[in-house]
Structure 1
Amino acid sequence: MKITLKKRKLASGKISLSIEYYKGSETTPEGKRRHIRENENLKLFLYGDPTNPGEKKKNKETLVLAKKILAIREAEFYQGRFNLKNTAKSKRRFLDFFIEKAEEKSDSQNNYGNWTATLVHLKRHIAPGTVFEEIDDAFVKRVRNYFDKEARTKSDLPLALNSKYSYFNKFKASLRLAFNEGYLSINYAAQAKSFEQAESQREYLTFKELQNLSNTPCKYEVLKRAFLFSCLTGLRWSDINAMIWSEVRDEDEDVIRINFRQQKTDGVEYLYISKQARDLLGERKEPQDRVFVGLKYSAVYNNEIVRWCNRAGISKHITFHSARHTNAVLLLENGADIYTVSKRLGHREIRTTAIYAKIVDKKMREASNLIPTLKF
């Protein structure tokens, strides 16, 4: 099939745009050759003889739009709209495809964890033999309803709103990938409505609590240094764990920075750090050596953070990621503007950082004491 953009001049002088689908030719009973064409009227028009800059600009914009529609129609053709489906792909089992995509995320601990957690639920709801040709709008709606009404946690509780949001988005991501790779002829992910994301509570340490923690022994010295370094810099666990000495730039005594690529976003970052944060790194080693040797993601280390906090008299549920929250709050409390904090944390959107601003809103805190004391 050949798909082309066609122009037809109208009696009014304007030019009508359409897309022609040429499907070849056939021989009629009379022995004549007949060409098979179908046309799609785009209801877009060009000025046949533009007389001013405005009309010329409109023609240019309309033609760009028509070419974009043409590109979409060509993509739909190759995705199987015109009965040219890849039957081998349509017969592939959906769960096998999801497992493959989950494994591709194994480089990112957090992202991989979300994909594998989603897979656990999908296996409970989707029959193992379900293939792509069985996927339709009703199928997607049933999966969404499962996450919304039926899915349970290990403690047999309904899923929290953020869990529904995360799991269903991973399911949608797999549908989007399946469409891009030709397993589906319709992008169901674009049509499926996501769950709303709830604002999560961000546990952090006050400066006094951080001071107490730094004076309290931790069973694993590398864990203590890495956690305190995160509190002072805002770096994620994944970036701290992957840090090598070539990324640490001691330009002079007062200018120290980390040049690294974020594990989560793959963005290149240049982060200035304090001398105290640099002291936590220890003595410089070979360029390709890890800075925090022996640091690892494990239940043992996670549990030690809790015990370490308990020994410091801190009853909050603190995780390694709480160090990042601590850094954001301490920066804002000590005068850093929200844009600077956002850049230091590597946030792509300022609204992500704005959540921390709520925590340190001094005006709200002051307002709580504006009403005079009642005499009971």
Structure 2
Amino acid sequence: MASDGILIWGAGAIGGTVGAFLRRAGQDVTFVDVVPDHVAAIRDPARGLRISGPVEEFTVTAPALLPEEVRGTWDRIFLCVKAHHTAEAARALAPHLSENGYVLSLQNGLCERVIAGVVGPARTMGAFVNFGADWMEPGHVMMGNRAAVVLGEIDGRMTPRLAALHEVMRIFEPDAITTPDVHAYLWGKLGYGALLFAQALGMKGIAEALARPELDTRFRRLGEEAVTVALAEGVTPLGFNGFDPDALRPGAPMEATRKSLAAMVEFNRGSAKTHSGIWRDLAVRKRRTEVDAQVVPVIEAGAARGIACPGLSRLADLIHEIEDGRRPLSDDNLLELIP
């Protein structure tokens, strides 16, 4: 018999935060992660998983496993790994998903289609999240702010299981909503994400980078390319937390772009998470980013439709140069975004 609890696959910034809130509220939560020290801390009654930051301060203990230790099946698996690890993780968790269960993607990018390719569309659910959190060390995640959480079936139906999931996720984010078009939010996040990848090229934080007036036209180029591709794909991206895709449509007045940038600056100044997770991957954790799973797919989708994305292509090249150790992090890198 499948467990009616929740299996959190990936207990880092997103999975650790969401899972800890649900565990504290009495939900049956089991964590899975690839970092042995993190797994050991979560299940150690003397340590546990600590959530710090201005939103909440608390610690929980919970069952925690390495992937090879997982046994049995679950009706609900929340996938929270980095986007470029989605296919590998989906294959690993597939034997532990019940026949009538589902995988919920709490990730950036268009991961739902990758997951659906492994477990099937009927067993895949989508979500968009924008709250800020950082994995600090084994057993410790910092939550920087609250932000949009949107849930949806990938085929747009408003189902009983979506309603049930909504009730659970409202434990974590009381303002979480459901939508018949989760893809509109996911594509919106790809546009916003391009700006976060740009921030990660330098040392200034998100708010500081977005507030640089000399970068307005560069940020506009990145956002406009992403929105143009989304529209060509038949998706009208939706905004959130200051990000306004309509202000980045071709022909939109520059003043509208600047207004949206100012709103994003204001939103991010209220977060204890000052830098993007992309920047932490490059500057702190010294590992590869999600650029090939977030920026490159937009470039490829554009190319398939005859839409050039020179700004996004340059952005991807700059990120790759930093990942490969061929370019240092520098705020001057952002000035090179327009070819």
**Greater CA radius of gyration, 1 or 2?**
1
TM-score, reference length from structure 1: 0.23
TM-score, reference length from structure 2: 0.25
